[in-house]
Structures are given as C-alpha cells and as structure tokens.
Structure 1
Amino acid sequence: MSTPRLALVTCADYPHLFEEDAPLIPALAERDIAAEAAVWDDPGVDWAAYDMVVIRSTWDYTARRREFIEWAGSVPRLVNPPNVVRWNTDKHYLQALEDHGLRVVQTTWLEPDRGYDKRALHNRFPAREDFVIKPAVSAGSVGAGRYTATDANSRRYAIEHAMRLLNEGHSVMVQRYMPQVDVHGEIALVYFHGTYSHAMKKAAELTDVGEVATADGFETEEMEVYKATPAEIEAGQAALAFARARIPGRSLSSRPLAYARVDMVPAGDGEPVLMEMELVDPRLHLPLGRQALGRFADSLAAELRMGPDAANIDLA
C-alpha cells in the first residue's frame, strides 16, 4: 500500500510554510503520511497528484480573491473545501449569521456601487462610541482603522479611509469598537473536527485612534496562552454548528470541519460576541496548545481516512 501524499498549501512569501506549520510535516510522517509544502498559485504544481490538499498560509489571496476561489474549486480533496473558502473569505458571512440570529459584533455595511458622498458616510458612522473601519476582504487586521465618533478630526479621517476603500472597489465594514477588547482582550478558540483543542488571547491591536493597520496581520499577530471557560468553549462550538448549517453545500448532517478558529470577545453582559470565524487559513498557534500539533496531525489523518464528505458539494 502506497504512502498517502498530502499538500500543505502556502503562498509565495512562505514557500516552505510559515514557521508554526513546518512541524506538521514530521508530525504527519509519524502517521505514515508524506506531506510537503506547495504554493497555491504555482502553475507547476499537479494538485491531482495528492491524496489530500490542506490550506494553510495562503495569506496573499485577498488581492486576488476571485482567482483564489477558482483555484480552490479546481483542487480535488481540498481541506477545508471550496464552498467554505467562498463563504468565509468575504466577511459578509457575519451578516448572514446575524440575519439568522447569531450574536455578532454590530456592523454597518457600505458597498462600492452605492455612490456615497462624504455626508452620506458621515451619517452611517456611530454617533457616540469608537468604531472600526475595514475592508470586507482582508487578512488579519490589514486595512483596519479605529476612530472616535465624537471627535471631528477623527470622523474626517474615517470618512477619508472609507472613501478610499470604496473607490478601490472594496465593500467596507463599519463596526462598533468593543471596549472589552481593551480590558479583556480578544480570545481565539481552535477546534479540530468540532472538538476543542486550545485557546489564545490577544491584546487590542488598534490602540492608536486614527492609525490604519498596514502590517501583515497574520505574521504580526501576538498571542498568549488562554484558559477558556466551559461557557466560552461551548459558545464557540455552538457558533460553528450554527454556521455549518448555513454554509452553502453544508448542513448539520455534514461532519465538522477539520480545523476552525473562532474569535470572540465578552460583551458588557458577559456573553460572548462573535468577532470572526476563520475557516480557511487561520493561524492556529499550535505551540500555545499542549499537544496541539499532534491533535491537528490526527485531525488531518482522520480526514484522509474518511474520504470526501458528501455534504461538501460545491453549489457554485
């Protein structure tokens, strides 16, 4: 019986994988799986030669999302699958989840085809609290800026920021800034096939009002070990199940995704609010979870054994 081949997909900036993912190769070798790095837009890669293809550090797709989605749709045995890639690479998924009743961070959406003038943008910003402006397709916090609603100069900078993004053709998110991020930090919970693995916490990134983040949000993301409460773990699992039933081509009868990261923050009443659900290429911060590397390798080995999930039908 031949050794299964697995591709760990990355981008040209990290042709040998991001440093945290590199140990996956020997971990999978211990499970009799031959894994290697492959760059998603390298025309020389024969994706059909692999028994399974796993997305990892493909962090340059945001400038070429359409191309990335087309690539995902062309790859056999892609993990996580093409329908998830299409749904999760545009943060409009948050609106879809909120429409169905999930508690997410309050967001106003600005679309580039609406022809907003400065007054119209001004009227769509919060009146009293800090808020964040960012593009709907972005990596990490790149392109995000924090502004103060009651400061005239800050509102002017926010208008300029939003107008610039709209003129470049981006959908724009205007989100209420959650002050609990400054106090508690934002927590991230990692799940493998729906089972909790480990959690991390990061401090507020947008600490300077008016400054727009330009650094690589994934590469510079700093986390510390966090002990999630049972309520937080359950909230993350519930959010994933809630989403699974609403991603086109998936349902609660489909198996949970091989890997997922759920970012949340407690609201004023203590209940968690979903900030983001990362199902495509999240940093999993495996060194921060005891035996997390082994759990991820086990998850991928199990995915390989189980074969294609019939519920992962691509409905494009």
Structure 2
Amino acid sequence: MRIAIVTAISAFGSDRDTGPLCEALAAIGIATDHVAWDDPTVSWGRFDAALLRSPWNYSEQRPAFIGWTQRVARATRLLNPAHVVAWNTDKRYLAELGASGLAVVESHFIAPEQVIDALPDWDEFVVKPSVGAGSKGAARFRRSDHEAALVHARQLQAQGAHVLVQPYLADVDHVGETALVYFDGRFSHAVRKAALLGDDGSRRCSQSAPGVISPCEADAGQRGLAEAVLREAGQLLALQRPLAYARVDLLPSPSGPQLLELELTEPSVFLGSGDGAAARFAEAIEAHLQAG
C-alpha cells in the first residue's frame, strides 16, 4: 500500500509529525509520498489513501481547498473524509456542539454583512475569524480596548470573514491549554500548550517555540468532555466509525474544562510527546485502509 502525506507547497518540511509517522507506517508495510494539495500535477488516484497532515494554507483559500477534498475523495480514500473537513474548517461548528449542552467556550458569531455596534461585555475577550489556523487573525482585548476590538472585527468582516468572539479564560495563562489526541477513536496522549496570546493583544510565541508544548496527563474530567465531544461530532456528521485522528483542545475554567476547538482536519498530533504514539497513528491508518 502507498499513501499520500498531504502538505502544502509552502509547508514542505514543516510538520514535525511527518518523519516519525512515515517511519511507523514503513514498519507495517505502508509506503508514503510527501505531496502538496495545491500541486496540480499530482495524480491522486495512484494512492490508496491521502492523509491530511499540513495543508496549513487552507484558511487563505478555503473554497478551493474544500473543492480539492471533494475531488480527491472521488479518486481515493481521504483521511479524514471530505464532509468532515468541510464542517470542521469553519469554527461555526462550535455552535452546533454547544447546542447539544456540551461545555463549549461561549462563542458569538458575526456574519460579514452584519453591522457591528458592540461586542459582548467581558473583562477580556478574543476576536478572530471563524476560518483560521495557528491563531492567525486572533487578537486578545480588554474591556477598555472595545473600540480597537471593533476595528479588528470590522477588518475581518471586510476580508469576507465570519467573526468569532469568545471570552478570554484567564486560567489558561498559568495552567495552559490541554490537547487530547485520539487515533481511531481511542485516546493516545495529551499535551499542555502554553497560552499564545499576550495580554497586550500580541502573540506571545509560536506553537513550535521551545517549551510551548509539553507532555501531560489528562484527568478524568478532560477525558470525559473530550470523548463526549467526539461522540456528538460523530452523530452530527453521521460517521459510521471513529475518525482516523482527532485532537480535542480544552481550556481550564472555574467550572471545569471547556472545549476551545475540535481539530479534525490537519492538527499537529505531537507524536514526540507520547510514547508509542507514532505506531498508534500508523495502526489507525492501516485499520481505515483495511476497512475498505
């Protein structure tokens, strides 16, 4: 078997998970080619599957990316599937998950054509586009920065974006964000991510900077919420089996963990932070290929 490890032309060599994953796949007899979704010369039908890993420029051209996933899904098996990608690449899915009663960070969405006169009255909050990756376009504001926040939101609207406004949960500054990784529906490992947005509205650091990511233990409350989120997503998406990979990002709050994002498209899965994680990921991919 041979699968395509899908990146973007601009992201070749950027994904730290690719090396360990390709080695683990080779160990079970699955060959890999590292190819870009935005390379028009690739013949996708020659692969047994295409695995999304680092197509990180999708947010800048989402309609083209969604169209590409649909074409590739007709030529080979796409992991994760195209309809999952279409749903998951716009954070408006948070409203659907929140409507089910899950603990989701409160999320307000503003359409591009909607007039914005005011934003939710929180001490601190984040304004970002509903389509984005790596905190791009996200900015943190205080109540006293309300006018600057309005300007930022309107700038996002002018770019055609739906705007997402969420309260800033301050516990993340000293506890961090917890990301739980699942392969084929089974928990693999968890990492702690340091807060990325500074209190001056700037970005503190890159996710790839030393010390930003560290292994951690997920507690029962975090595991319970993550697995409830995956179950609900499976029902919303009418999935017949668990997805090959998923990452559930949680923030701490006084009332317990809350869902920040459910990453089902191209998440870093931090294989270097979990013993045996690369082998578990490879086995999940093999299981999906064998399922036909």
Partner residue, 2:220? 230
The runs of 4+ residues in structure 1 deviating greater than 4 Å are 217-221
- Figure out how many residues of one structure are paired with residues of the other and give that number: 288
CA–CA separation in structure 2 for the residues paired with 1:156 and 1:113: 19
Aligned with residue 232 of structure 2, among 237, 242, 258: 242
Superposed, 1:1-316 pairs within 5 Å as: 4-16=1-13, 18-75=15-72, 76-116=76-116, 120=117, 123-126=118-121, 128-149=122-143, 151=144, 154-211=145-202, 213=203, 219=208, 222-247=212-237, 250-251=238-239, 254-269=240-255, 271-307=256-292
Structure 2 residue identity aligned to 1:178: L
**Structure 1 residues 17, 37: CA separation in 2 closer, same or farther (over 3 Å shift)?**
farther
- Secondary structure at the residue paired with 2:11? coil
- Secondary structure at the residue paired with 1:187? strand
Partner residue, 1:313? none
CA–CA separation in structure 1 for the residues paired with 2:77 and 2:32: 14
- Whether the 8 Å CA contact 1:7–1:35 is kept in 2: the answer is yes
CA–CA separation in structure 2 for the residues paired with 1:185 and 1:279: 21
- Whether the 8 Å CA contact 1:105–1:273 is kept in 2: the answer is yes
Structure 1 residue identity aligned to 2:45: A
CA–CA separation in structure 2 for the residues paired with 1:282 and 1:204: 17
CA–CA separation in structure 1 for the residues paired with 2:58 and 2:261: 18
**Displacement, 1:234?**
2.4
Partner residue, 1:311? none
Larger Rg: 1
- Whether the 8 Å CA contact 1:17–1:37 is kept in 2: the answer is no
Unpaired stretches in structure 2, ≥5 consecutive residues: none
- Whether the 8 Å CA contact 1:139–1:218 is kept in 2: the answer is no
- Whether the 8 Å CA contact 1:158–1:210 is kept in 2: the answer is no
Please list the CA deviations of residues 183-237 of structure 1 after superposition, one character each: whole Å capped at 9, or x if unmatched.
31110000001100000011211123233x498x665593111111133222211
**Displacement, 1:256?**
0.5
- Secondary structure at the residue paired with 1:174? strand
Normalised TM-score (structure 1) = 0.87
RMSD of the alignment, in Å? 1.7
**Displacement, 1:32?**
0.8
- Whether the 8 Å CA contact 2:97–2:229 is kept in 1: the answer is no
- Whether the 8 Å CA contact 1:16–1:37 is kept in 2: the answer is no
**Structure 1 residues 218, 155: CA separation in 2 closer, same or farther (over 3 Å shift)?**
same
Structure 2 residue identity aligned to 1:124: L
**Displacement, 1:99?**
1.7
Aligned-pair identity in percent equals 40
- Whether the 8 Å CA contact 2:207–2:213 is kept in 1: the answer is no
Please list the CA deviations of residues 6-26 of structure 1 after superposition, one character each: whole Å capped at 9, or x if unmatched.
111001123346233122222
